[in-house]
Amino acid sequence: MVRVFVYGTLKKGQPNYPYMINGANGTARFQGRGLTVEKYPLVIAGKYNVPYLLNIPGTGHRVTGEIYAVNDQMLQFLDEFESCPDMYQRTPVRIEVVEQEDESSPPEGTPAVNSILECYVYSTTTYQPEWIHLPYYDNYDSFGKHGLPYVLREAEIETGSSINDHRLLNRINNLFSFIAENFEICQQGRRQILKKTARKQFLKVGYIP
């Protein structure tokens, strides 16, 4: 089992929390609530109003979330759900425990309050430059006063299917959304690849542009 810190739609009471308690996805055992030791910018962006934790430590706020112990199956599910590593990257982050699962009689292995843990967090380095200037949040709530509720993906709305049956479709939808929101960055990368490829071809025939 490894520990994962969730800060967005996978938290209790949020739109995607049912995936965390669906045994078909694997095992996720809630261990308590935590707070990032370092500050991070947590923003809501894109046409789906997705919460993104930008991997810029030292900027923003200490972010509140939930700590789960997950097995390999659930970790693989979360990687696919978060389109890791294309949209999000799973990285270890230090988390301070602020509340245990059951403070009166915590199960064995439950981290102590005020202890510092290393948990996996799905943050991102692949974001639009203007996202840095969006409002930063310390505790995400899809139904908060910001007026930016999370929008379910079209695949889930149109088919009513669970992500377990359509993981590939979900991944494709995420990638298309990412490409649409980062079109110019993708275009620049494409031009660089074409330029390098053309140069290699020129070198093969003895021409150096």
Element (H, E) at 89: strand 89-100
According to DSSP H, which parts of the chain are helical?
Answer: 72-81, 154-159, 167-181, 183-204
Residues 6+ apart with CB under 8 A from 65: 5, 6, 7, 8, 11, 33, 34, 35, 36, 95
66 catalytic? Reply is no
What distance in Å separates the CA atoms of residue 206 and residue 13, rounded to the nearest whole number?
64
Active-site residue, selected from the candidate residues 82, 101, 118, 156 = 82
Q: Which residues are identified as catalytic?
A: 82
